[in-house]
Structure 1
Amino acid sequence: MSYLYKPRHQNPTSPRSRVLPIAAAAAVLAVTVAVGVAVHASTPAPVADAQSLTSADSSQPGAGQAARDRQRTQAAPDPATNPPKAGASAKPSAPATPAAPSTPGTTAPAPPAAKELAYRFAWQENYYFCGPAATRIALTARSMYPSQSEVAQSLRTTVNGTNSADDTTRTLNAYTKTSFYKSRYITGQSATQAEIDRMQADVVNAIANGYAVVANIAGSTVDDKGGAHSYPGGHYLTVVGYSNGGKTVKIADPADALGVGYYTLTTAKLAHWTALRGYSA
C-alpha cells in the first residue's frame, strides 16, 4: 500500500509529483540493503564439530592432517577441569621429605667426687650465737656477708639459742631468695642407713650446686684425725665440702674447742651426731 502526498497548491499531474515516488522507493531500497549487510555480518559463522572435521575432504592437500590435528586438540581433556580417574596412570608426586629425627635430651653431668666451697670463716660472737655464726658461714659461700646479729634476728635467736633446722632453712632461703633449702630430720637415737645415704646425697647435691649445709647436732664425736668434739647441749655447724663421693665431709665449726675451726669426719658420723635433730640442705 502506498500513500501519495498531494499538496493543495500543486498540480498532482506535474512532473515534480512523479519524481517523489521514485526517490522514496530508491531510499527504501538502500536502507533494506544496508540492514541486510549488517545482519549478515553480525551472524557468527558455524563451527565444525569433531564429527564434521573427521569427514573433511581428504582429497585436498593437507586437509586430512589438519582435520586430525584439530580433532586431537578439541578432544584432549583439560587437566584442570577433568582430573584423571582413580587407577589412571599419572606422573607420581615427589616423595615427602622425612622429618629430621629429634635430638635426645642430654643428661645432667655427674657431680664431682670431691668439692669444697670458698667461704669466709668467723668464730661465733657469744655462747648462744652458734646458729647465726654457722648460718652466716653458709651465706658467705654465696658471696653474702651479713653480720651475725642480723642473721640472729632473722633466726629469732635468743639466749637459749636457735630453735631448730626449720629456722636455718627459712633464713637461708630468705637471704638467697630461693627455695633451694629443705629441712631434713633424723628422728631416732641414731641414724639409719637410709638416713645416712640421704644425708650423703643431700650434701653432694647442695655443695655441687654451690650451697653449704647447716646441721644442728648434739652429743660427741671424733673427727678423722682423732680430735674430740662434744656439744651435749646442742650446737650448729656448717658443711662446706665433701670428698670420697660424699662419704667424707668437711666441717666449719664456729666453736671448735681445738681452735682450728674446721675438721673432717665421715658422713655416717655426722648423721649419727644429728640424731634427734635436723639439717638444712
Structure 2
Amino acid sequence: MRLLAVPLAAAVAATTMVLVPAATAEPLPAPAVANAHPAADHILEVDYQVQETGYWCGPAATRIALSARGVYRSQTDLAAELGTHTGGTDWIGQVTGVLGGYVGWYETREMPNDPPTQEQKDLLWSDIVRDVDSGYAIVANIVAPPGNQPPGYPPDQTIYHYFTVIGYNDVDRTVLIADPASFSGNQIYWLTFDQLASLIPPKGYSA
C-alpha cells in the first residue's frame, strides 16, 4: 500500500510528519470484527471510508459518524464545511458544529487533563453508551504518542488524529473504533475503554 507523508495538525510542530495510507477510489466495506462476548456488543452500522488525503482524518471521521444516521456527504464537502486545511482540522468543536448542523444532538466535550480525571472518564463512558444506544457515533480527537497507540500506528511518532467510536461492549468495557487512517490495514478494531480515555487528552470529542 502506498504511503503519503503529510503534515500533522496545526497544533503541532510544522516539521513533524505522519505517514498515512493513500485512500482507495471507492469506500471500503467495514471488515468483520470479533469479540469474546458478542452478546454484549452494541455496534452501529456505518459506511466506512479511508481518509482521502493525509490531513482529512477529521472529514473522514465526521463522514463515518454521519453515515450512522443515514447522512452521506463526500469528504471533499465535509473538509470545506469543517474548515480543514493542509495542517488538519484544528479543533473538535468544528466537528461538533458540522455534525450538529446535519443531525442535531452533538456537543463538544473537552478533556484537558492528562491523565483524565475519573469524572471525565465516567462522562466519556456515559456518552458512548448513550450515543451508541441512541444511534449516534462519537468523533474523538486523539493524541497517540509512542508507547500508547492503537494497532498499526507508526511506533516512533506522536500521531494527532481523528477517529470514530461506533460501538462498545459493556462486559469487556471495550470500544469499537472506525479509524480512517487504516494504519497497517487496521480499519475497525477494539480498544479498551481505558486506552481510549488516555488517548483523548488534551483534546476532546463530539458526543
- TM-score for the superposition, normalised by structure 2: 0.75
Task: Give CA deviations for 1:209-228 in whole Å, capped at 9, x if unaligned.
Answer: 000000000124355xxx35
Task: Give CA deviations for 1:155-195 in whole Å, capped at 9, x if unaligned.
Answer: 1111111011101100001111x2x1111111122112221
Aligned-residue Cα RMSD (Å) equals 1.8
More strand by share: 2
Equivalent AA in structure 1 for residue 160 of structure 2: G
Match among 178, 186, 203 for residue 111 of structure 2: 186
Equivalent AA in structure 1 for residue 87 of structure 2: N
Distance 1:245 1:208, change over 3 A: farther
2:8 equivalent in structure 1: none
Cα displacement (A) at 1:267: 1.4
SS of structure 1 residue aligned to 2:100: helix
1:219 equivalent in structure 2: 144
In the alignment, structure 2 segments of 5+ residues that lack a partner are 1-38
Match among 62, 79, 82 for residue 155 of structure 1: 82
1:278 equivalent in structure 2: 204
Q: Distance in 2 between matches of 1:129 and 1:158?
A: 8
Equivalent AA in structure 2 for residue 209 of structure 1: S
Task: Give CA deviations for 1:23-63 in whole Å, capped at 9, x if unaligned.
Answer: xxxxxxxxxxxxxxxxxxxxxxxxxxxxxxxxxxxxxxxxx
What is the number of equivalent residue pairs in this alignment? 165
Task: Give CA deviations for 1:64-91 in whole Å, capped at 9, x if unaligned.
Answer: xxxxxxxxxxxxxxxxxxxxxxxxxxxx
SS of structure 2 residue aligned to 1:258: helix
The answer to whether the 8 A contact 1:124-1:255 is kept is yes
Pairing 1:193-212 to 2, within 5 Å after superposition: 193-212=118-137
The answer to whether the 8 A contact 2:152-2:185 is kept is no
More helix by share: 1
Deviation larger for 190-199 or 132-141:
190-199
Match among 240, 248, 251 for residue 166 of structure 2: 240
Task: Give CA deviations for 1:112-141 in whole Å, capped at 9, x if unaligned.
Answer: 953100001110001110000000000111
Q: Once the two structures are aligned, what percentage of the paired residues are identical? A: 39
Higher RCO (CA-CA < 8 Å; seq separation 6+): 2
Cα displacement (A) at 1:233: 4.3
Distance 1:280 1:184, change over 3 A: same
The answer to whether the 8 A contact 1:203-1:246 is kept is no
The answer to whether the 8 A contact 2:144-2:159 is kept is yes
Higher-Rg member (1/2):
1
Match among 96, 100, 103 for residue 173 of structure 1: 100
Equivalent AA in structure 2 for residue 164 of structure 1: W
1:88 equivalent in structure 2: none
In the alignment, structure 1 segments of 5+ residues that lack a partner are 1-111
Match among 52, 59, 66 for residue 139 of structure 1: 66
Q: Distance in 2 between matches of 1:245 and 1:137?
A: 25
- TM-score for the superposition, normalised by structure 1: 0.56
SS of structure 2 residue aligned to 1:126: coil
